[in-house]
């Protein structure tokens, strides 16, 4: 180390610098770790069906899963683009167009939140939480649908409200 310190000026500077004294209670920095690992909840128990040498089970294909589901999600999202632009571009505030737009928004939101529930609360790990979140999602979706229906029938409607906010 002494021979390297004589050769490199950077090593000489760092070796000549005194060590800083940390006050009591100061956090300690460790290479590649900025904070301590703190788990809020312990991990759930891990289970395995069968033996180690059994192949992973392949789920039965279902038409509402996989590529069909992905394609439907993308079609709903793509369909919202003209539905959002048409009332303002054409200048017509049609209640039927409002109803279709509200239905598309509700369906799009429901699918998006359902995907989040599926990702974060898988049935195989937390079946009761998964079921509770799905029922909560259904309740909120129904409440949103009833609220938008009331807004459409008893008030100005969604596109007129957006137009009024935009021009305010």
Q: What tens digit of pLDDT does each residue of 2-38 get?
A: 555 555 555 555 455 555 555 555 555 555 555 566 6
Which residues are CB-neighbours of 157 under 8 A, at least 6 positions away? Answer: 93, 95, 98, 151
User: Does the residue 98 lie in any domain?
Assistant: yes
Residue in 81, 86, 87 with CA at minimum distance from that of residue 105: 81
How confident is the model at residue 107, as a pLDDT? 96
User: Does the residue 109 lie in any domain?
Assistant: yes
User: Does the residue 38 lie in any domain?
Assistant: no
How confident is the model at residue 31, as a pLDDT? 54
Instruction: Extract the tokens encoding 16.
Output: 């000549």
How confident is the model at residue 32, as a pLDDT? 56
- Flag whether 120 is marked binding: yes
As for how many domains the chain has, the answer is 1
Low-confidence ranges of the chain (pLDDT < 50): 14
How confident is the model at residue 20, as a pLDDT? 54
Q: Give me the domain span that covers residue 160.
A: 71-167
User: Does the residue 6 lie in any domain?
Assistant: no
- Flag whether 110 is marked binding: no
Q: What is the CATH number of the domain that holds 161?
A: 1.20.1300.10
Burial of 157 (0-12, 13-18, 19+ CB in 10 A): buried
Return the half-sphere exposure (C-beta side, CA atoms, 13 A cut-off) of residue 139.
Answer: 6
How confident is the model at residue 81, as a pLDDT? 92
Instruction: Extract the tokens encoding 76.
Output: 């709903």
Element (H, E) at 103: helix 95-120
User: Does the residue 28 lie in any domain?
Assistant: no
Cβ 110 vs Cβ 73: under 8 Å: no
How confident is the model at residue 109, as a pLDDT? 96
Quote the CA–CA distance of 78 and 80 in Å, as a whole number. 5
How confident is the model at residue 75, as a pLDDT? 93
User: Does the residue 42 lie in any domain?
Assistant: no
């Amino acid at each position: 180390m002494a021979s390297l310190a004589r050769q490199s000026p950077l090593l000489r500077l760092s070796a000549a610098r005194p060590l800083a004294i940390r006050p009591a209670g100061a956090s300690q920095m460790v290479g590649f770790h900025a904070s301590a690992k703190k788990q809020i909840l312990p991990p759930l128990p891990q289970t395995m069906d069968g033996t180690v040498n059994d192949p992973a089970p392949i789920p039965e294909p279902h038409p509402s899963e996989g590529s069909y589901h992905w394609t439907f999600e993308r079609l709903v999202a793509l369909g919202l683009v003209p539905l959002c632009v048409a009332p303002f571009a054409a200048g017509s505030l049609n209640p039927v167009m409002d109803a279709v737009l509200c239905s598309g928004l509700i369906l799009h939101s429901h699918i998006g939140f359902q995907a989040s529930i599926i990702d974060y609360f898988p049935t195989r790990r937390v079946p009761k939480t998964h079921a509770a979140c799905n029922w909560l999602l259904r309740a909120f979706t129904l409440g949103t649908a009833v609220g938008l229906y009331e807004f459409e029938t008893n008030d100005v409607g969604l596109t007129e409200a957006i137009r009024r906010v935009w021009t305010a």
